[in-house]
Amino acid sequence: MSQPENPNVRNPVREDAKNKKERRIVKEIEIAASVDDVWKALTDGHELTKWFPLEARVTGGVGGKIFLSWGPDCEGEADIVAWEPGEKFAWREPLALIEWTIAARGGKTLVRLVQSGFAGEADWENEYFDSTNYGWSFMLASLRLMLEKHPHDERNIAWPRVRTALSREQAYRKVTGPNGIFVEDPGAKLQPEKSYSLKTTTNETYSGNVEFVWENRGFCVTVRELNDALFWLTLEGAPGKIEVQIWLSAFGIPEEDVNGFNQTWESRLKNMFA
């Protein structure tokens, strides 16, 4: 049996843990869909792939499992620790606890996400927190779009990306400046929760609504010309290893057209960062 800890003796490990203040990501979004439809979108493997990962499997109930995959380099399985149909769903990963709560509100459903477990302040931990926080903004926008606009449609994904040795700030200026993604500087026209219309450097016109803009991270817009798809620009990775990514969530568009989008923008990104 171990001896009780003497409170008068300094314990560096205990003090280090005490001094680390846990950070949490807390986000809320209101969706024009029923509680039952939102619950299914959060807990059904097939429905999850319409707004969240590329592949998903769920074994429901406390003690069950959830598997999420964006490819071999980014996938994993976690234990389900809360399962209250129509109210709460949570799973625990090695470094995080992800909790969802949902409730009816005035004919819509309020969705609340909390991710906890961010304790450190090292550079990589700050980057992980910032990247995760930014990523959840897109995932929640994707959840809302799917349920409100495309509840019965399958999703096709395009994911062109390119690595660059530029800093995040330099890469962001290049891709969002004149002759980056758009012909003109989009700054004045990409205003959160406002409409926009811009010509791309692939000789198309995109218009729709701006979901969000994060300086030096990216932006997310709907594209009316692609049947209300979501176009998401994101800059991921550590300094010197930045990957510039475009993610298109498309619904009701032929797969060959989505593949064509991927090829066109992959070529454009490579030329931009050559």
Q: What is the distance between the alpha carbons of residues 220 and 138, in angstroms, rounded to a whole number?
A: 7
Residue 20's pLDDT is: 59
Helix (H) or strand (E) holding 176: helix 168-176
Domain architecture of the chain: domains with CATH: 20-149 (3.30.530.20), 155-272 (3.30.530.20)
Q: Output the pLDDT for position 16.
A: 44
pLDDT in single tens digits along all 274 residues of the chain: 233 334 344 444 334 444 557 899 999 999 999 999 999 999 999 999 999 999 999 999 999 999 999 999 999 999 999 999 999 999 999 989 999 999 999 999 999 999 999 988 788 888 889 999 999 999 999 999 999 999 999 999 999 999 999 999 999 999 999 999 999 999 999 999 999 999 999 999 999 999 999 999 999 999 999 999 999 999 999 888 999 999 999 999 999 999 999 999 999 999 999 9
Pairing of strands 229-236, 65-69: unpaired
How much is the pLDDT for 157?
98
Round to whole Å and give the CA distance between 182 and 220.
14
Is the Cβ–Cβ distance between 219 and 195 less than 8 Å? no
Total-model pTM: 0.90
Q: How far apart are CA 133 and CA 119, in angstroms?
A: 14
Which pLDDT value is given to residue 2? 32
Q: What is the pLDDT of residue 246?
A: 98
- pLDDT of 229 reads 98
Neighbours of 152 (CB within 10 A): 7
What is the per-residue pLDDT for 179? 95
